[in-house]
Amino acid sequence: MTHASAPGKIILFGEHAVVYGRPALAVPVTQVHADVEVTDSPRAGIWVHAPEVNLHAELASLPSDHPLASVLHNFFFAFGISPFPSLNIAISSTIPVASGLGSGAAVTVALVRALSAHFDTSMTDEQVNAFAYEIEKLHHGTPSGIDNTVIAYARPVYFIKDRPIETFSAGRPFTLLIADTGIPAPTKESVGDLRKLWQADQTRWEKVFDQVEVISKQAKEKIERGQIDSLGELMNQNHALLQEMTVSSPELDRLVEAARRSGASGAKMSGGGRGGNMIAIVEQEQAAAVAEALKSAGAKRTIATTVA
């Protein structure tokens, strides 16, 4: 039996603009994770069990473009494993689906690593990442690659599409509260809707993405220098631009407002938007009060995480 695990992720700055070549910052969230166990099976076939998404199926019965089927086919093809072995694959995850925490990418990364361990193939983080990016394209259409990158490397990442990976670390640790609207929202839809707006008026949206770029660059500098006090204002500015992109929602806006009112120095939606999660930056001693305010404003759960 082999086992592998992968963390969730949260985007601090720059989502959506990152699809258009601007930088974004994201960090792993180890409080949630996807776990995969691979065992040889006495029964013929490759049986996939993923109770969180109600999936109990043999590989051949899954559509060929199903992300899990694609991971398995791509893996066996890449390593010349034929005929297909008989396996049981158990997938579990504490990462809510379609919530901006990278559930799809985390399952892929954990599955690839568990298969790699099972078949004794050694894969670098870079190979796992490249593999996961191909699968992200099935989930999202035109992904930037930030989700698979931060999850495959499990490090804070300053990400620019098609550029070598750049990590960052905080000059002074800071606390983030992540709050879930409980509304699942597929990234593919918000990314697709924004693409339609961009196609209709590229000049306007490129300017908006430029403004996000300035924010992401400033945020990286401030995080690295430990100038945490000014990050909240940058989050507020980034949220306003995401609202303009039409990817926020009334539920996200309500949580963002509640966080600001209850003492967070700034807050924004995170990830694809329209639902899913938001983040707030807080002093550690305020975290409990802000978490309480978020719950009163409708958050289904909150996670406190430290960026170190």
Nearer to ligand MEV, 192 or 226 (CB): 192
Annotation says 147 is catalytic = yes
Question: Shortest CA distance to 281 belongs to which of 197, 178, 196, 200?
Answer: 178
Our CA angle for 251, 252, 254, nearest 5°, is 65
Q: Which of 147, 162, 180, 210 is catalytic?
A: 147
What distance in Å separates the CA atoms of residue 230 and residue 143, rounded to the nearest whole number?
29
Residue 113: HSE in the Cβ half-sphere, 13 Å Cα cutoff: 23
Q: Identify the burial level of 153 via C-beta atoms within 10 angstroms of its C-beta, where 0-12 means exposed, 13-18 middle and 19 or more buried.
A: middle
Nearer to ligand MEV, 23 or 100 (CB): 100
In the complex, minimum distance from the CB of residue 100 to ligand MEV, in angstroms, rounded to a whole number: 6
Concatenated DSSP letters of 31-100: EEEEEEEEEE-SSSSEEEEEGGGTEEEEGGGS-TTSHHHHHHHHHHHHTT--SPPPEEEEEEE-SPTTSS
Buried b (16+ CB within 10 A) or exposed e, 268-285: bbbbbbbbbbbbbbbeee
Which are the contacts of 48, defined by CB distance < 8 A and separation ≥ 6? 55, 56, 57, 58, 59, 62, 68, 72, 89, 91
Q: How many residues does the chain have?
A: 308
Nearer to ligand MEV, 140 or 260 (CB): 140
Nearer to ligand MEV, 62 or 146 (CB): 146
In the complex, minimum distance from the CB of residue 77 to ligand MEV, in angstroms, rounded to a whole number: 25
In the complex, minimum distance from the CB of residue 263 to ligand MEV, in angstroms, rounded to a whole number: 27
Nearer to ligand MEV, 99 or 262 (CB): 99
In the complex, minimum distance from the CB of residue 221 to ligand MEV, in angstroms, rounded to a whole number: 21
Our CA angle for 169, 158, 33, nearest 5°, is 75
Amino acid occupying residue 150: V
In the complex, minimum distance from the CB of residue 219 to ligand MEV, in angstroms, rounded to a whole number: 15
Q: Do residues 154 and 28 lie in contact, with contact meaning Cβ atoms separated by under 8 Å?
A: yes
Nearer to ligand MEV, 76 or 131 (CB): 131
Question: Which residues in this chain contact ligand MEV in the complex, by CB under 6 A?
Answer: 11, 15-16, 18-19, 100, 140, 143-144, 146-147, 187, 191, 271-272
Amino acid occupying residue 176: L
In the complex, minimum distance from the CB of residue 214 to ligand MEV, in angstroms, rounded to a whole number: 17
Catalytic residues: 147
